[in-house]
Every structure is written in structure tokens, then in C-alpha cells.
Amino acid sequence: MAAIDSKRLCLLLLVAELACSGEVSFSSQPGADGGGPDAGGEQDQEPRQARVVGTGGVGLNLRDRPSTDGAVLALMPEGAIADILSGPDGDWYHLDYAGTEGYGFADYLVEIEEGEEPSGTGGVLNLLPWTAEVSYRVSRAHGNTGGHTGDSYWAWDFAMPVGTSVLAAHDGVVRKSRASGNQGCCSPSCGDYANYVVIDRGDGTESLYLHLSDALVSVGQHVTRGELIAKSGESGYACGAHLHFQMQKSPSGGGTSYQYNKSVEDFFHDTGEPVDWGPGDTPVSKNGVLDIP
């Protein structure tokens, strides 16, 4: 018994000596209160992100302090993704946007849900805005081919029956959506009756889908390329059923807040290469089946 007590005493003295020398720290051992796996302290959390929405394509200012009087550090375009550092605290999130730390007004930020794809790196290139493996004739193209002129110079018209499913040509955020128009005719006098959807791509451009019979998305909604957004029609100034599609300047790219802005040159990539389809062409959509950026 005395031998056992002697061994215990020696062991205790050895441990005490190691503790005093700093070789052993009891609080750092697993299960102790010093931050080991079972300590119950702050654990690593999944990073939080938020998307800019509902700005009408104008974008959201990143400010140097949580106040509308704060200096603007950067403009976060509609659909932009920012890392959440903290918040919301009152009306503001503390954010990191593209390496710049600042504050964004919470009313125009939506936290990305767990499992939702936040990157937005895909869905940038345009694919034809209808069901894959189906073709429709280009009934009218650009001004240089005897087609559209003025602000719609770079537009296409695709001849398709009323009620055809219209798909998003790219990822983005819905800036405008109207489905209340109930008539159309081959005269400018019917122009105000047109139904439409406008999707901001977040790079200073947006897509316009015009003459719809129905719009199936709401302003501020984030959509992905290939998602059903509308049904085609002949509302507004339309001389027959067709889909008018154009890429145009968004408000953040020099356009107005109106649904119709100056068109810009762009292409479709359903063949795997950029193509500018001309009058009489019958391109085949690969929207939803072609894996491209």
C-alpha cells in the first residue's frame, strides 16, 4: 500500500513540474473548458451570403458606415453576391463585397438559403429562350438586315404560336414584369398594352421579352437560365404572334428605369459558339441541356 502511495506521489509531483514548466496545459486538453472539441465554445459557422434584389436594376450602394450619409465605397449591381460579416443590425448588414468592407441597407438584401447556389458563375451566356430541341423561325432581325431600327436595332423576332413557353435566356433578377395587357394590334396605338418581362444580368445589360400573353415571374425574383418565365403572345404593337427578344442597357449600365431601353449587340450560344441568327433562320434551342458558362 505504501509503495502505491509513493508512486502516486511521484506521479503527482511529475505532473505538477510539467505544468509549471508550461509543457502541459490542462485547459487545452480535449473536453476541457479551454476550447477543446467538447468545450461548448464558439464553433466554426458556415459563411453567410446575401444577394442584392429589388433595386429596379439600379443596384445598392456599399457605404463606409451604416447610414445613408455614409460615403459610397462601391455599387453592388442587382443580383450581386456579398459576404455577410454581421447583421442585420437595425437596417444594415456589415458586408464584404469583392474585397471591400462596408455596409448595405437590409431592405435590398436577401440572405442565400443553405443549399442554394450562390456563385452565379454559370448562366451568363445567352441560350435561345424556349424549350430545348425545338426551333422557331427568325421573322425579323437587326437593322443591318432590314429589320429593327432605333433603340431596338439589335433585337430579334421569333415567330411562335400564342402560349409558347418562354424560358430565361440567362441568369439574373427580374427587374420588370407585366401581364395585365389584354389586347394587341398592328399599330403603334397598341404599344402600351404590351406584356413583358425584363431580367437584369448584373453586368450592365438585361434581356427584354416582349408581346407576351402572360408573365409568370415577379419583380425581384432571381431566375436561372432555362427557367419558365412567361408565355408568348401578340400583346401590344404586334403584327401577329411572335416573341420580341433583345439585350439592352440596364439602369446600372446607362439605361433608364423604363422597361424598354437601347438594345446592345449580343449573341446566342446554343451551337457552343456565339451566333447572330438572321432572318429566315430556324435555330434549335439547347436551353436547359447545354452546359456552358
Q: What is the pLDDT of residues 230-271, one digit of tens each?
A: 999 999 999 999 999 999 999 988 999 999 999 999 999 999
248 domain-assigned = yes
pTM of structure: 0.61
118 domain-assigned = no
Same domain, 158 and 99: no
Same domain, 175 and 229: yes
Structural domain boundaries enclosing 270: 123-293
Q: 7: pLDDT confidence band, cut at 50, 70 and 90? A: low
Q: Express each pLDDT in 86-114 by its tens digit.
A: 999 999 999 998 789 999 999 989 888 76
Same domain, 261 and 163: yes
Residue 239 half-sphere exposure, CB side, CA atoms within 13 Å?
6
CA distances from 258 to 56, 82, 128, 156, 265 (A): 10, 27, 24, 20, 19
Task: Tell me which of 111, 140, 160 is where a domain ends.
Answer: 111
39 domain-assigned = no
36 domain-assigned = no
Q: Express each pLDDT in 120-166 by its tens digit.
A: 445 888 999 999 999 999 999 998 887 899 999 999 999 999 999 99
Same domain, 85 and 215: no
Q: Express each pLDDT in 17-68 by its tens digit.
A: 544 444 444 444 433 344 343 444 445 567 899 987 766 556 789 999 999 9
Same domain, 89 and 164: no
Number of folded domains that form the chain: 2
9 domain-assigned = no
Task: Tell me which of 90, 111, 132 is where a domain ends.
Answer: 111
Between CA 271 and CA 259 the distance in angstroms is: 29
Between CA 293 and CA 291 the distance in angstroms is: 7
287 domain-assigned = yes
167 domain-assigned = yes
Q: β-strands 184-185, 236-237: how paired?
A: parallel
Same domain, 94 and 202: no
User: Could you tell me which of 239, 232, 263 has the C-alpha nearest to residue 249?
Assistant: 263
Same domain, 68 and 135: no
Same domain, 84 and 189: no
25 domain-assigned = no
Same domain, 198 and 256: yes
